[in-house]
């Protein structure tokens, strides 16, 4: 993927950051997007110090205007986006019976609607080039469910449906659309969980350990490559055997 331009949302930390590093190491020019400009600046400085091309742009995935502005700025100042990694996500957990509508709306808006709007922004140039890679980061809970996360689960399950729909629409133009469904990965999002909860989760994982962001990023790097040219509409699980 040498000189391909990749755009990664939620790139300031965790899986998104690992994806940026992995794609850059594979030769891509990476545009990293998130709300935290300071963390993005640190990441781009690190990538540039290793000889990679990197571009930082602030983005709020709950705002259609922010998504349009960030992606237009990237296309204008850094290059047309050929690889899109929809990784940004938020959580507002709570039992469905007591979940506030604003908590439902906030998660669906960022995790699902934001991803859809980002896809809309890159499709015209991908169609013109007759080449593109769209990779949506879903979740194991989007496949198996999880109590207390009706909004998050619905958003991640929705991403799987969105992946398959866009894959069917874009396949004739050599644009592939796939989803990656990580399991229990060691990130800032899972760090606050109690050790008891972590141990219980590990007990259900066939490999008996949590995953690393780099292990998810390696799969994203593969799906973005020419080696994955005949894979589209697929959900690739990276969960250590938590769900089969």
d(CA 166, CA 117): 12
**pLDDT for 204:** 95
Q: Domain map of the chain by residue range? A: 5-238
pLDDT score, position 197: 83
What is the DSSP track for 171-240?
GGGTEEEEEEEE-SB-STTTTTS-HHHHHHHHHT-TTSS-B-HHHHHHHHHHHHSGGGTT--S-EEEEST
What is the distance between the alpha carbons of residues 113 and 123, in angstroms, rounded to a whole number?
A: 16
List, by residue number, the catalytic residues: 152
Helices (H), the chain: 14-25, 37-49, 64-77, 101-108, 114-129, 141-144, 150-170, 195-203, 213-224
The mean pLDDT values, 10 residues at a time, for the chain of 244 residues are 94 97 98 97 98 98 98 97 97 96 98 98 97 98 96 98 98 98 89 84 95 98 98 98 97
Is the whole-model pTM more than 0.95? yes
CB 162 within 8 A of CB 116: yes
Q: In whole numbers, what is the pLDDT of the chain averaged over residues? A: 96
Tokens describing residue 34: 């998130």
What one-character DSSP code corresponds to residue 13? S
Nearest CA to 71 out of 116, 127, 24, 12 is that of: 116
Topology at the third CATH level for domain 5-238: Rossmann fold (3.40.50)
pLDDT for the residue 191: 77
Q: What is the pLDDT of residue 192?
A: 77
Whose CA is closest to 212, among 190, 194, 227, 196? 190
CB atoms within 10 A of CB 136: 27
Q: How far apart are CA 177 and CA 168, in angstroms?
A: 9
pLDDT of residue 1: 78
Note the pLDDT tens digit of each residue in 64-120: 999 999 999 999 999 999 999 999 999 999 999 999 999 999 999 999 999 999 999
What pLDDT, on the 0 to 100 scale, is given for residue 188? 80
135 DSSP β-pair partners: 85, 178
């Amino acid at each position: 993927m040498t000189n391909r331009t990749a755009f990664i949302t939620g790139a300031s930390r965790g899986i998104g950051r690992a994806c940026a590093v992995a794609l850059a190491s594979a030769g891509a020019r990476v545009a990293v997007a998130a709300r935290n400009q300071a963390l993005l600046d640190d990441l781009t400085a690190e990538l540039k110090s290793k000889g990679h091309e990197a571009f930082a742009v602030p983005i709020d995935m709950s705002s259609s205007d922010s998504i349009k502005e960030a992606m237009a700025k990237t296309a204008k100042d850094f290059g047309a986006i050929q690889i899109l990694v929809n990784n940004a996500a938020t959580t507002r957990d709570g039992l469905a019976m007591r979940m506030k509508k604003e908590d439902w709306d906030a998660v669906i808006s960022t995790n699902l609607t934001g991803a859809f709007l980002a896809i809309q922004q890159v499709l015209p140039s991908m169609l013109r080039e007759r080449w593109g890679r769209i990779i949506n980061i879903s979740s194991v809970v989007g496949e198996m469910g999880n109590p207390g996360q009706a909004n998050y689960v619905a958003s991640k399950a929705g991403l799987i449906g969105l992946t398959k729909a866009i894959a069917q629409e874009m396949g004739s133009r050599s644009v592939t659309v796939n989803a990656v469904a990580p399991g229990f990965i060691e990130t800032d999002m899972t760090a606050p969980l109690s050790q008891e909860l972590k141990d219980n989760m590990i007990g259900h994982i066939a490999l008996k350990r949590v995953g690393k962001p780099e292990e998810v990023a390696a799969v994203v790097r593969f799906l973005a490559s020419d080696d994955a040219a005949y894979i589209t509409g697929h959900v690739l699980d990276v969960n250590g055997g938590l769900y089969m």
